[in-house]
Structure 1
C-alpha cells in the first residue's frame, strides 16, 4: 500500500516537472481581459477567477467602489493595478496571493510595520516583498466562511500540514502526543507533527503569551474568529527571522485592523447528541482623515460532548472485535483477601452480605468512560481594539489590544482509583476467608460522588503600541508588546483518602462508609465528607521591545538591494501559584508554588538582505527574475547562552507564471519552563504491567522513572525546501504548487513515557532506555524512593523484566521528508464560476532515533504520529449572490502499534458543505446580509476503529487523527451595516 502511494506521488511530481520545459514557450502569465465597468469587488473576483491567482480584498475596502473597464492583455498583478486606479487602494504579493490594501495607511500585515503603503509578509522582515524561496499559505476570511469554521483554531487545524495531536480539546487528557500540558483545554497548532512547541504563533507579527501548564503552547482558542482578516502560515523553519520555536514553521494571525463600518454576526450549530454551539459578534470601525479605529466583541459557547453519545468512547471494545479493558474498579466492587478475588453481587446494599453470595475468582468491571466527557463545555468572551493616528506626514502612532476570558468544564476519569483497605471495625466488613484481617476492596466512587471533573478559566491580555517613521524610502519602527495569560482550575470530586480512612474505620453503621453494596450504599453526609478537591493557578507573561528598519540599500540593474535590520529584547516569565489540596488530609493543605526558573531574558539582533540578481531590464532568456535572500539572527539567552541561525532563500522565474524556489536554514527551540522542573512534584516512579510478546502470559512488569533530565539542551534543526509554482497561460485559471520539505531535527526534547505501553512490544526502539533484569536491591531501592507511586498494586517481590528511564530528555534525532501539493483550477460555466482544487501533504518518512547510536525507526503512519497522506479537496460554485462549497477530507490508513499484534487502522474520509447567499448586490434592508448553512462531516462518518491503549487510557478511536464530534450543522447570519 505504502509503495503504491509513494509511487503515485513520485510519478505525479515527475510528470509535473517534465511538462514544465515543454510548456515554457507557452507560458507568459498574461491573459486577455475584456471586462465592463462594474463594482470593484466583482471585478477583482473576475480577475482572480480568470487568472487563477488568489486575490484578497476585504469587503469594507472595496464597498461602494467601481472599477473601470478592463480590456487588453495583462499579468494578474497588472490587471488588479488597472482596476485599482484612482481608488486609493493598492495590491501587494503575499507569496502567490495578491492582497488589496489602502495606499495611505494600509495595515494588512504586521501591524507594526506596514502603514507606509507596503505590507510586511510573514516569513520576511522586508516590507513589500514576499519571502524568497519559501511557500506561504494564506487563509483569508473567505476560507473561514466557506469552511464553516466557528473558531480560529478550527481554520488553522484544517490544513493538511497540521497534525491534530498536541494541544487541543480532544487530546487534553491524553498521555500520548504533547497534549498533557493542556490543562485549560485550549487549542494549539502542530505543523508537521513536530510538536506544538515547535510551531511559532504570532498575532500581527508579535508573540502572544503562552498557555498551558508550564507555558507549553500558544492558545489559538483565545483569538476570536470574527476579528481575523487572514492567517499566513510558513511551513518552514524560520528561526533566522523570528528566533526560537520556529522549527516547523510560523503561524501569523492578522487581524481586521482596517475594518470600517459595522458587522453583526450570529451563529447556531448542533452536533449529534446534546453538544450545541452558539456564537455572536459585533465589529465597529471608523476612519478619519489621519487615522482609524476598530473595536470588536465576540461571544462563543459550546456544550460538552458526552462519552455516552459516542459508542466508541469505551473501555470495552468487544463490540468492535477488540478486547475488554474495563478496569476492575467498579460498583459493586471486588474484595481481595488471601490472594484471591471475590466479586460483590449486584442488586444489594451491603447489609447482611455473606461470603456465600460472593463469586470466587471473579472481578467486577466498570467502564472508566462512565459519566465523563469527550469534549469540554466552553464559553468565551473576547474584546479587540485597534487604532492608528498620523502624527505627521512621516510619523504614525498605532496600537492594538486583545482581551479574552474563557471558562471550561469537563468531567474526567478518576485519577485516584486504588485498592481501599477496610478494617474489621467497619460494620459492613466481610471476610470471605475467615482470618478476621483487613480486606482490600477495588471500588469505583463515580456513582457515589459523581465523576471527577475539572472547571477553570483562562484569561489572556495582549497590548502592542508603537511609532513608525518614514525617512524617504526607509521605514523605522519602534514598538513594545506586553501579554499575560492566567489560568486557574479546580479538580472536584477527588476522593479525600484521609476522610475515607476514617469513614471505613468507623464502627457506626449510620456513618461508616459501605464499600460492599451496589451503588451508593452510604448515607449522603458521609459521602460528602470524603469529597475532596485540588485547586491551582499559574500565569505566563511576555513583554518585548523592538527597534527595526528596512528599505533599499542600493540600486542594482535587477532592482533594489533591500535590507532589514533590527534588535529585540524579550522577557518571558512563568509562575505557578500555590496548590490547595483537600485530598489526603483532614484539613486543607496549601503547597508552595512549584519552583521554576521564573524569568528568561533574550537579546536578539537580526539582519536580512534581499538581492535581486536578475530581473526587469537585467533579465536574460530563461531568467526573467532571480532573487536571493540572506538572513541571520543571533540570540543571547540568559539561561542557555547564545545561538546564531542563518537562512538562505532562492527564487528563479524563467518565465512569467513559472517559479522554482528553494530554501535552507537552521532553527532551534529552547526548553520551556515546565521542562526545567526539578522539584519533587515533577518526579514519579511506578511499577507497571505492559504488553510483552516475549512473555508467556502476554504481559510483564517494568518500573518506570519519570521526570526531567537536569541537563536538557535546546533542540536544533536544519530545514530545506525545494518548490515549483506553475500558472500556465494555455490553461487559464489553473495553478499548481509543489514543495519538497526536509527537516533534520536533533536533540529533540521528549518523554518516552508517552508510549510506555509499547516499551516491550517495540524493544528495538526503546532498548536504549531499558535496563533489563534489575536486581532485587535495585527494585527495593526504587520502591523505597519517596517518589514511588503505587498505581497497580504490584508488590516489590514481583518479577521485573526492566527499569525504564522515561524522563524528559534530548532524544537524539528525528528526520522528516515529504511533499506539499496545492492544485486549483477555476473556470466559467455558463456565466457562473466553478473552482476545484486540493491541498495535500505526503510524508515519506519520520525517522526517529532515541539515542545517536540507536536504530532509526520510521514512525510515520503509526498511532501518536502523523499519517503519510492527508488531503483536503474542494469544489466551489458561485452564481450571483449564491455560493456553494464542498470539501472532502482524507486521512490515510495507518498502523496501531500499541497493540501486541500491530493492527491496521482504516482510512477516514469526510465531507463538509457550505451553502450561502450574499445580498451584497441588493438594496434596502437586505443589503449587506449573508446567510450561510454549514455542515461538517455531513454523512456523519464515525472515526475508524482503533484499539487505542496508552497506559491506563483505552478508547475505540484515535483522537489525534479523528474528530469525535460527528456531523455538525450550523446556521450563520451576518449583516454589514
Structure 2
C-alpha cells in the first residue's frame, strides 16, 4: 500500500468515525438538560466563593462561615452545573453537603482537618487506568501535580521523571555514558529523555500526551519527552501496572500520561538561570504561557526556549583521568511550542485540538582513551504531535469521544570520527510516525441492586511508519505496520457503598480486554481483571491481574542482514574449517509477553483526611524478550550456552539462502569462501530468547499539618525491586537489580514542605542503594548514594499591580555537592570514567534562580 493510499485510508477512518458520532448524536433521543450557570469567580477563600456562586446561580447556600473562610479555592470561569461547581469548591475545604433540594444547599463540617490543598488548575478526575468516566482504577496510579513539580526545583520534565523511585534513569537519557556494553538499552543516540518504569527498558513503558500515544524516537521503541514544556504540564499520571488491555502494546511496566494545560485563563512568563558550582552546565530557560477561557471556548499557547552548555570531563575533579574534551553532559538547545483550543458547538457537542512542536539540537564530543579516536556528533531532532477530539453527549448518561491525530519525529545526525591519521564522516537519518483514529463510547449498560454497571467500548486504527537512512543507502529501510483494534471495559458494583456494614463498605470488580490485529505479526488479545474492596470509608484494598505485550521494533524486525565469514577458530572451534556468523533483523519474531499482578492498599482516615498511606506489591513475568543471544563472539562455537543458536554441518541450501539474503557479506580474513569447508553457522540475529521475573513493592506516605497560620507537608516514596533474568534458555537466572548499570534494589525520595503566607520552603532527600560492580573479579561493592535538594519560593501577595503574581524561586539540587560513588569496571574501556551514569550523576551541585509573573 502506498503512502498516499495509507493517508487516504487514515483520513477515511477518521471521517467515518466522526460521521458515526454525528449520526448517533442526531439520532439520540431528547433529554432534560441539567441547568448550567455562567460563573466568573476569582481565586479566593471558600466563603467568598460560595457567596459568589449563590449570587450568580440563584441557589441559596447555607454553610459555616469560619470553616469555609480558612480554605483557598481556585478560580471558576465558564459554564458549570451546580454539582460541578460545588465539587470544585468543596474539594479544598473540610465541608460536605448535608442536604439539598432544587433551590437550597446546606453544608456542614465533615472532618477536623482541612484536606491537602490543590493547585487551582489541578481539580480533575484521574483518568489514566480506566476509559470509564469518573471510574476508579484498580491499578496503582500516582499523580504528580503542579505544586510537586514546582517544589522539585527541576526545569525539565525528564528530570522530574528520573527522580521518581519507580523509574530507572538508564536508557536514552542525558548523561548516560559507558553503560551500553552491560545493558544495550543504555544508549542515548539523540540526546533524548525517556521514561523507564521498573528499569525494564524505555520500550516497555507506554507514554501518552493528553491521553494520546506519542510516537517512538530514534532506533529504539521509546518516546522522547524532552520537548514537553514544563510550564504547560498540569499533572503527570503514572500507572505502575501492565495495561495492554486498556492501551495496547508497550504498556508492560506501566503507562505515563502527561496532561497539559488547556482551559487556563490568564498568563505566565518565567525566566530561569542556573549553573553548576563545579563549572559547566549553565542553563537558561524562558517560557511564556497565555490562555483564555470563555463561556463556551478556550485557547492557550505556551512557548519555551532552553539552552544548556556542556559539562566536560575536564570540568570535574572526579573525572580528571578522563580525556578532558569528552562531554559528560552534552550541550543542548531546545524550543517547544504547545497550542490548545476548544469550543462547545452546543450543549451536547464539544470539539478541541492540541499540538506540540519541539526541536532539540545537541552535539557530543567523545573520546574513550587519550590515544583513541575522537567521536563528534551533531544532532537535530524536530518533532510534532497533533491531536483532535470531539465529545458527544448522547444522553444524560452516555457519551461518545472521537479522537484522531498524528505524532512524528525526525532524527538527523552528522558523525565525525577523527584519528591521528584519518577523518571519516557520515550522516544518518531516522523518521518515526504514528497516525491514529479512535472512538470510545461510555455509560451504564444496566442496573444492579448495588448500582449501575459502567462500561466503555471502543475501536480504532493506528499506523506506524519508520524510515532509516535515505533511498539508495546500504542500510535504508522504510517499513510500516497497520493496527486495527477494539476494546471493552466494565466496572461492576458488587456491593454498593454503605458505612452501616463494618468490614464491607463496598466492592467493585473491573474487567477489560483488548484485541489488536497487526499487519506484520498477527493478532493479540490482552485481558485484565481487578477489584477494589473498601472495608471502611478509610481503607481501600485493590488488586489486578492481566497480560500485556510489546511489539518488536522495526529495527529488530527489518534491520538488514549481515553475514560474516571467519576461520572457525576465531569463534572458538578447534577442529579447523570455516564458520559463518549472522547478524541483523528477524522477520519471524513474535511479541514480547508479560503476565502481571498487583496487590495494594490505600489508607486515608475519615477523621484525618490530611494523611494518606499507600503500599503496592507487584509481580511481572516477562517472557520472549528480544535479544541478540550470543553475547561473546569469540566463544560462539565453544560455549555450550549458545548451542541452541548454532547449526553444525550446514547444508549447501542453507548457506546459499544466507548468502542471497545478506545485505552485506563480510570476509573478515580475506578467506576463499568454500561452502564445503563451513563447519557451522552461528545465528546472532534478534530473537525471542530472554525471560525476566520482576517483583517488588512501592510505598508512599503523605501528611499535612496545620500549625497556626503555617502548613507543613511530609512526603515519602520508596521502591524495592528485584529483577532476575535468564538471558537464554540454557543459562541459569541471574539477578540484574542491584548491579552496575541496572536499577538499584532500593530507591527512595522524601521530604518536607513548609508554607506560610507567601513563603514556601521544600527540602528533599534522594537515596539510591548500593550496587555490585559485576564487571570486576571478584565483584566489588559500589556504595549507596544519598543527596539533598532544596527549594525556596516567595510569592508576592501585595496589592501592587507590578508585584501581583510575581514568584521568585531559588533551588539547589545536590545541595551538598556529593560526587557519585566510585565504580571501576567502566574505566577499562572508558579511561577515567569511574561511576555508574544510570544511577548516579556527576553534575554536582546546581543552583538556579527562577523569576515568574502570572496575570
TM-score range, shorter chain: 0.7 to 0.9
1:37 equivalent to 2:47? Answer yes
Which residue number in structure 2 is paired with residue 478 of structure 1?
Answer: 402
Is the Cα contact below 8 Å between 1:558 and 1:619 reproduced in 2? Answer: no
Alpha-carbon distance in 2 for matches of 1:880, 1:150? 24
1:881 lines up with 2:805 in the alignment: no
1:556-705 alignment runs, 5 A limit = 556-578=448-470, 591-596=473-478, 598-616=479-497, 620-680=501-561
Equivalent residues in 2 for 1:218-229, closer than 5 Å: 218-229=223-234
Task: State the distance in 2 between where 1:872 and 1:564 align.
Answer: 36
User: Are 2:387 and 1:464 aligned?
Assistant: yes
For residues 562 and 711 of structure 1, do their structure 2 counterparts lie closer, same or farther at Cα, with a shift above 3 Å needed? same
What secondary structure, in the 3-state scheme, does the structure 2 residue paired with 1:887 have? Answer: strand
Tell whether the 8 Å contact from 2:248 to 2:514 is kept in structure 1 after alignment.
Answer: yes
Equivalent residue number for residue 277 of structure 1: 283
Q: Aligned residue for 1:244?
A: 249
Q: Unmatched 5+ residue regions in structure 2?
A: 1-44, 51-66, 79-85, 106-114, 573-578, 651-657, 670-679
Note if contact 1:723-1:737 (Cα within 8 Å) is conserved in structure 2.
yes
Please state how far the C-alpha of 1:60 moved relative to its aligned partner: 8.3
Contact 1:628–1:650 (CA under 8 A) maintained in structure 2: yes
State the alpha-carbon separation in 2 of the partners of residues 907 and 608 from structure 1.
Answer: 44
What's the secondary structure of 1:146's corresponding residue? helix
> The residue matched to 1:145 in structure 2 has which SS?
helix
Superposed, which structure 2 residues align to 1:336-735 within 5 Å?
369-413=323-367, 444=371, 451-472=374-395, 473-494=397-418, 530-578=422-470, 591-596=473-478, 598-616=479-497, 620-680=501-561, 706-729=583-606, 733-735=610-612
Deviation at 1:301, TM superposition (A): 0.9
Which of the residues 135, 140, 144 maps onto 2:140?
135
Give the SS at the match of 2:95.
Answer: helix
1:79 to 95, 108, 113: 95
- Aligned partner of 1:900 in structure 2 is 777
Per-residue CA deviation, residues 922-976 of structure 1 (Å, 9 max, x unaligned), is 5431111111100000101011100133984452000111122111110111100
Distance 1:243 1:922 in 2: 52
Distance 1:630 1:280 in 2: 46
TM-score (norm 2): 0.79
Q: Distance in 2 between matches of 1:101 and 1:273?
A: 38
Per-residue deviation at 1:905? 0.4
Q: Matched residue of 1:924: which SS?
A: coil
Alignment partner of 1:787 is 2:666? yes
Distance in 2, matches of 1:689 and 1:308, equals 39
- Cα deviation for residue 662 of structure 1 reads 0.4
Q: Would the aligned equivalents of 2:126 and 2:237 in 1 still touch at CA under 8 Å? A: no
* Structure 1, gaps ≥5 residues long: 1-34, 41-50, 63-69, 88-95, 110-118, 317-366, 418-442, 496-514, 516-526, 580-589, 693-701, 776-780, 791-801
Cα distance change of structure 1 residues 715 and 886 upon mapping to structure 2, 3 Å threshold: same
CA contact (8 A) 1:563 1:607 kept: yes
| Structure 2: distance between partners of 1:561 and 1:868 | 41
Q: Secondary structure at the match of 1:149?
A: coil
Alpha carbons of structure 1 residues 616 and 179: separation in structure 2 relative to 1, 3 Å: closer
For residues 757-812 of structure 1, give each alpha carbon's deviation from its aligned partner in whole angstroms, at most 9, with x where no partner exists. 9999xx99x6667989999xxxxx99xx943669xxxxxxxxxxx99865432233
Q: Is the 8 A contact 2:469 2:477 kept in 1?
A: no
- The residue matched to 1:871 in structure 2 has which SS? strand
How far apart, CA to CA, are the structure 2 residues paired with 1:768 and 1:878?
64
Alpha-carbon offset, residue 595 of structure 1: 2.5
Distance 1:444 1:688, change over 3 A: farther
Q: How far apart are the structure 2 equivalents of 1:889 and 1:467?
A: 43
* Match of residue 303 from structure 1: 309
- Residues 99-142 of structure 1 show CA distances to partners (whole Å, capped at 9, x for unaligned) of 7889xxxx987xxxxxxxxx5600100011231x2111111111
Alpha-carbon distance between aligned partners in 2 of 1:759 and 1:125, rounded to the nearest angstrom: 51
Query: Structure 1 residues 727, 748: closer, same or farther in 2, change over 3 A?
Result: same
Compared with structure 1, are the counterparts of its residues 81 and 642 closer, same or farther at alpha carbon in structure 2 (3 Å cutoff)? farther
Partner of 2:40: none
Whether the aligned pair in 1 keeps the contact of 2:561 and 2:583 (CA below 8 Å) is no
CA contact (8 A) 2:343 2:351 kept: yes
Equivalent in the alignment of 1:268: 273
- Establish whether residue 932 from structure 1 lines up as the match of residue 805 from structure 2: no
1:465–1:174 distance in 2 versus 1, CA, 3 Å: same
Instruction: Give the distance between the partners of 2:623 and 2:804, measured in 1 at CA.
Output: 56
Displacement of 1:920 after TM fit?
Answer: 4.3
Q: CA deviation at 1:313?
A: 3.4
- Work out whether residues 862 and 896 of structure 1, in 8 Å CA contact, stay in contact via their aligned partners in 2: yes
Aligned equivalents of 1:557, 1:99: Cα separation in 2: 35
The structure-2 alpha-carbon separation of the partners of 1:255 and 1:921, relative to structure 1 and needing over 3 Å to count, comes to farther
Q: CA RMSD in A?
A: 3.9
Is the 1:494–1:531 contact (alpha carbons within 8 Å) kept by the matching residues of 2? yes
The SS at the match of 2:211 is: coil
SS in structure 2 at match of 1:190: coil
Out of 841, 855, 864, the residue aligned to residue 741 of structure 2 is 864
Does structure 1 residue 122 correspond to structure 2 residue 128? yes
Q: Which residue of 2 aligns with 1:975?
A: 853
Q: 1:306 to 1:564 in 2, by over 3 A?
A: same
Question: What is the rounded CA distance, in whole Å, between the counterparts of 2:299 and 2:554 in structure 1?
Answer: 37
Q: Is the 8 A contact 2:531 2:542 kept in 1?
A: yes
3-state SS of the aligned residue for 1:220? Answer: coil
Residues 78 and 470 (structure 1), Cα distance of their counterparts in 2 relative to 1, 3 Å cut:
farther
Separation in structure 2 between the aligned mates of residue 758 and residue 226 of structure 1, nearest angstrom: 52
After TM superposition, give the deviation of residue 546 of structure 1 in Å.
0.6
Q: Distance in 1 between matches of 2:186 and 2:791?
A: 34
Equivalent pairs counted in the alignment come to: 738
Equivalent of residue 230 in structure 1, options 224, 232, 235: 235
SS in 1 for 2:703: strand
The match for 1:962 is 840
Checking the alignment, whether the CA contact within 8 Å between 1:684 and 1:705 is kept in structure 2 is no
How far apart are 1:834 and its partner, in Å? 1.2
Alpha-carbon separation, structure 1, partners of 2:134 and 2:272: 37
Distance 1:239 1:846 in 2: 21
1:377 Cα deviation after fit: 0.6
Q: CA deviation at 1:147?
A: 0.3
Counterpart for residue 359 of structure 1: none
The change in CA–CA distance for 1:82 and 1:969 in structure 2 (over 3 A counts) is farther
- Give me the whole-angstrom Cα distance separating, in 2, the residues matched to 1:275 and 1:687: 50
For the residue of structure 2 that corresponds to 1:387, the secondary structure is strand
Residue in structure 1 matched with residue 693 of structure 2 by the alignment:
815
> Retained in 2: the 8 A contact 1:171–1:179?
no
Q: Deviations for 1:887-913, whole angstroms, at most 9, x for unmatched residues?
A: 100000110111121010000000000
**Rg bigger for which structure?**
1
